[in-house]
Structure 1
Amino acid sequence: MNFKKLGISDNIYNVLMKNGINEPTPVQEQSIGLIMNGSDVIAQAATGTGKTLAFLLPIFEQISPNNNFVQGLIISPTRELAIQITEEANKLSQGKDINILAAYGGKDVSSQIKKLKGSIHLVIATPGRLIDHLMRKTVDLSKLNTLVLDEADEMLFMGFKNDIETIMKFMPKKRQMLCFSATMDSQVKKLAYRYMNDPCVVTIQKEEKLTLDNIKQEVVETTDRHKQDTLCSVLNEDNPFMAIIFCRTKVRVDKLEEGLHQRGYNCAKLHSDIQQSKRERIMKSFRNSDIQYLIATDVAARGLDVSGVTHIYNYDIPETVESYVHRIGRTGRAGEEGYTCLFIDPKNQKMLEEIEKTIKMRISKRQLNQ
């Protein structure tokens, strides 16, 4: 199967070739035709399997540049993910003259509003900033054709449910809706069905397994008091090219970043209290490999695609198995090998057992060189 057989036009096909994207991934192969036919789609596939292009390509094909109204809307749970989708969309716009507005917090509202006075065809937004625009009447969704919820499990279930309900009131009843996510439990599906019209379900099971197969997973037993010292011992042994270290809270991120900085590690922190412009600078530096260690909350685990991340360190055990899978999915991408290390103290044993049960494997214990 190639992109032309899926109905992708020559101009956009040429942009894909120029960017080294020659063949559709399974989620693209199964979703694009359904979306082009106008079906509502729920698509579940592991992180790093090409979900972003699976919805962007058909949206680009369906948008008419001659119609000066918002035809496509993509909502993402985090600014970082919105930026990442916008970057992909901007690449595709070389093949079709489509005006894109990225609407997320931290950007100057007035300049966004000014840009909106021109014709905007596609909006990529976080819920809060989009609602702000809708209330100001600076975004009109009344003629919208296609709505995408990216990371739909988080959008529908983890704190954005009310926002989504508010946004839905501003768009036509008759529109196409697409939900894309790495995980999709039955409760989330139930919520999605409320808004969707007889959706087609695309599930790429094997990809999730393949992603985990590329990742070597280990556990280090420690105590909270000695955790920072233990982490440093591991970092000194591994000396990874690029790594993300995940903490449970913003306070824990701040404390760890301060501790590692004092010990001379090349690190930076990322969480939602950091000013947006600074977050963008940090991510740019990290992508350019100028920062070795990114210390982050789970906000960074959602959909961030940074090539070159070789190691993931779970300084704090995540609160859910899904979070664990999302976190470790930052490495071992595109067939590369990855490594993850989980630091646990005795009280985390139950959560570790739950993780092992879900991923159907025992995570081996790592012994440190003393």
Structure 2
Amino acid sequence: MQFSDLGLDPIILNAVSGAGYTTATPVQQLSIPAAMKGGDLLVSSHTGSGKTAAFLLPSLQRLLTDSPSKSIGPRVLVLTPTRELALQVEKAAITYGSGLRRFRTACLVGGAPYGLQLKRLSQPVDVVVATPGRLIDHLERGKIDFSRIEVLVLDEADRMLDMGFVDDIQAIAKRCPTDRQTLLFSATLDGVVGNLARELTHNAERIEIEAVPHTESKIEQRLLYTDNMDHKQRLLDALLRDVDMTQAIVFAATKRSAEELSDMLADSGFASDSLHGDMQQSARNRSLQRLREGRTKVLVATDVAARGIDVAGISHVINFDLPRQAEDYVHRIGRTGRAGRTGIAVSFAGMREGGLVKNIERYTGNRIEVHTLPGLEPQQRPQSGGGRPAGNGRPRTGNGGNRSTGGFGEKRSFGGGERNHSAGGYGAPRNDGAPRAYGDRPPRGDNQDNRDRGARSDRPRSDAPPRGNRFDNAARGSFDKAPRTFAPREGNRIEPERAPRPDVDGNSVEYWKKRESEAKARPQARAYGDRPARNANPGAGRSYGSDNRGPGNAPARGGVRGRFKD
């Protein structure tokens, strides 16, 4: 179907034809007429199917009519998961809206300076393409007005939810007018995406285009099994030195590994560069610009580059680390084979990553052919389902692999032996099937080892003297004393008996007279500082602050004497 058959305005058709597009893709054939009716849409389609034009063209069609609001805020708001995709969408909007009068766009992404973005927002703007995080920043600063929004587009909604933008998306949607049109595009419409779609849309029309790429795709997929990291790096070096390789994107799992791999390739003589989420937007733009100009031959990137990079010269996509999600694999390999060209997608898989390979094959519906490079064949044999490699690895069982003879993990008896009760195995079941009671083992005296050591049996011997007090038959000697008598136990202490004390009436006058007389009869205690002078009595202790000095002594000094002198 031609774009001219979709009911678009001639101004937009001229811009589309000027970009070199004449035939609409299946998702464009179904989405553009439905969106032009003004209702909400839920569209499921794979990457590279033309979703950008599917939501931009009908949105630009609405801009041909004047807005009833006099605000300078945007009329179309597009949310994307990554900065690169946002820049690509803005570029497409400028291309398709080149024939519109006074058409302005703004791209609000993280990592870019606020000054240029604030300058764009200070003027009337028609289309704003943004990532959720930076858009929330402008909203909290009060720098953007949503009162004029007519269309809200969620591009790659599943990816935004995977990146944790669900709260930001909900906050942004609440600030938009309720009578807006919502267009949600995603690779899948199930699970969390479906719940978000029901929350943000109203009586939405559902359009599903094949969720997997075409079987007759021009991308050749290959799988190389690797033994270890060193083997994987040697395979990568051999692939990048292939004469058929013009430009390649190497996908790594983490930002750190992307940086380290890019540095390693640069040290090996490759024109490499890295791309990940921690880079400033200006640095990311420079990396992409060098890739488009051909100055960068190898771009090492994380999944941030899996969507939004459209460089026709990329001949190879290498999955240095397999993606954890099968749909990410489809987006990765979609970076090659662009614009009708052929491409090669090579994936490295460890011996334990067979399960990830199976998930990818199940999702795409195609089997990935296993390849090897001459001289770099793997030394181990992979197992399906992600098991342990069946090569030179150490066997998990002991005694030749027979688990029944006490291999690793076997529940053996305490101290070895067969698992039966007769061998005294710790925790072994009884032969009669009944559970053994606590302390049900044979007595120590009946054990051969204990008899050899001369251990005392629980049964008394016939020639042994009867037990009793060990001092009964011994000479009493120093023990021949009268036994002490003890009072009954009080708690945990045993105290000897004491003579009873006479009753004393502490409130009687006689008692206190007796106490006074006893106090007078005792010598009086010397008061502080009443000691004699040191010269008068050399043997007496030092006096502190005493004025009672004998005649001829030095005059008394105030303060404390000793080491604290005046």
Candidates 312, 317, 341, aligned match of 1:312: 317
State which drifts further: 119-128 or 233-242.
233-242
Does the CA contact (< 8 Å) of 1:310 and 1:331 recur in 2?
yes
Which residue does the alignment assign to 2:368? 363
CA distance in 1, matches of 2:3, 2:361: 38
Cα deviation for residue 238 of structure 1 reads 5.3
Cα deviation for residue 284 of structure 1 reads 1.2
Residues 160 and 327 of structure 1, relative CA distance in 2, 3 Å threshold: same
Which residue does the alignment assign to 1:106? 111
Cα deviation for residue 90 of structure 1 reads 1.2
Give the TM-score taking structure 1 as reference length: 0.95
Which residue does the alignment assign to 2:213? 209
Which residue does the alignment assign to 1:3? 3
1:227 maps to amino acid: K
Which residue does the alignment assign to 1:76? 80
Q: Indicate whether 1:49 and 2:53 are aligned.
A: no
Q: Indicate whether 1:18 and 2:22 are aligned.
A: no
Which residue does the alignment assign to 2:254? 249
Does the CA contact (< 8 Å) of 1:82 and 1:104 recur in 2?
yes
Cα deviation for residue 332 of structure 1 reads 2.4
1:43-192 matched pairs, under 5 angstroms: 43-64=43-64, 66-67=66-67, 68-97=72-101, 98-192=103-197
Which residue does the alignment assign to 1:37? 37
Candidates 331, 350, 356, aligned match of 1:345: 350
Cα deviation for residue 45 of structure 1 reads 1.8
Cα deviation for residue 211 of structure 1 reads 6.7
Which residue does the alignment assign to 2:383? none
For 1:50-79, what per-residue CA distance to the aligned partner results, in whole angstroms no more than 9, with x for missing partners? 110111111111025744442110011111
Residues 279 and 65 of structure 1, relative CA distance in 2, 3 Å threshold: farther
1:315-330 matched pairs, under 5 angstroms: 315-330=320-335
Cα deviation for residue 118 of structure 1 reads 1.4
Cα deviation for residue 107 of structure 1 reads 2.3
Higher RCO (C-alpha under 8 Å, 6+ residues apart): 1
Does the CA contact (< 8 Å) of 1:154 and 1:160 recur in 2?
no
CA distance in 1, matches of 2:24, 2:362: 32
CA distance in 2, matches of 1:349, 1:198: 42
Which residue does the alignment assign to 1:231? 236
Which of structure 1's runs of 4+ aligned residues deviate more than 3 A? 64-69, 182-187
Cα deviation for residue 343 of structure 1 reads 0.7
Does the CA contact (< 8 Å) of 1:48 and 1:334 recur in 2?
no
CA distance in 2, matches of 1:209, 1:124: 27
Q: CA RMSD in A?
A: 1.7
Gaps of 5+ in 1: none
Does the CA contact (< 8 Å) of 1:48 and 1:305 recur in 2?
no
CA distance in 2, matches of 1:335, 1:44: 22
CA distance in 2, matches of 1:293, 1:211: 28
Candidates 192, 197, 205, aligned match of 1:200: 205
CA distance in 2, matches of 1:9, 1:62: 10
Does the CA contact (< 8 Å) of 1:39 and 1:176 recur in 2?
yes
Give the TM-score taking structure 2 as reference length: 0.63
Candidates 222, 246, 249, aligned match of 1:218: 222
Q: Indicate whether 1:270 and 2:275 are aligned.
A: yes
Does the CA contact (< 8 Å) of 1:151 and 1:303 recur in 2?
no
Helix, strand or coil at the partner of 1:43: strand
Residues 250 and 157 of structure 1, relative CA distance in 2, 3 Å threshold: closer
Residues 126 and 34 of structure 1, relative CA distance in 2, 3 Å threshold: same
Cα deviation for residue 212 of structure 1 reads 6.6
Cα deviation for residue 333 of structure 1 reads 3.0
Does the CA contact (< 8 Å) of 1:243 and 1:292 recur in 2?
yes
Does the CA contact (< 8 Å) of 1:65 and 1:121 recur in 2?
no
CA distance in 2, matches of 1:189, 1:125: 22
Cα deviation for residue 239 of structure 1 reads 4.3
Residues 44 and 201 of structure 1, relative CA distance in 2, 3 Å threshold: same
1:256 maps to amino acid: L
Residues 268 and 184 of structure 1, relative CA distance in 2, 3 Å threshold: farther
For 1:144-172, what per-residue CA distance to the aligned partner results, in whole angstroms no more than 9, with x for missing partners? 11100111111234311011111112111
CA distance in 1, matches of 2:302, 2:367: 25
Percent of aligned pairs sharing the same letter: 40
CA distance in 2, matches of 1:252, 1:69: 41
Q: Which has the larger radius of gyration?
A: 2
Bigger share in helix: 1
Cα deviation for residue 330 of structure 1 reads 1.3
For 1:95-147, what per-residue CA distance to the aligned partner results, in whole angstroms no more than 9, with x for missing partners? 11221111111222133222222111111111111111111111111231110
Cα deviation for residue 215 of structure 1 reads 1.6
Cα deviation for residue 183 of structure 1 reads 3.9
Does the CA contact (< 8 Å) of 2:327 and 2:363 recur in 1?
no
Residues 212 and 285 of structure 1, relative CA distance in 2, 3 Å threshold: farther
CA distance in 1, matches of 2:224, 2:259: 22
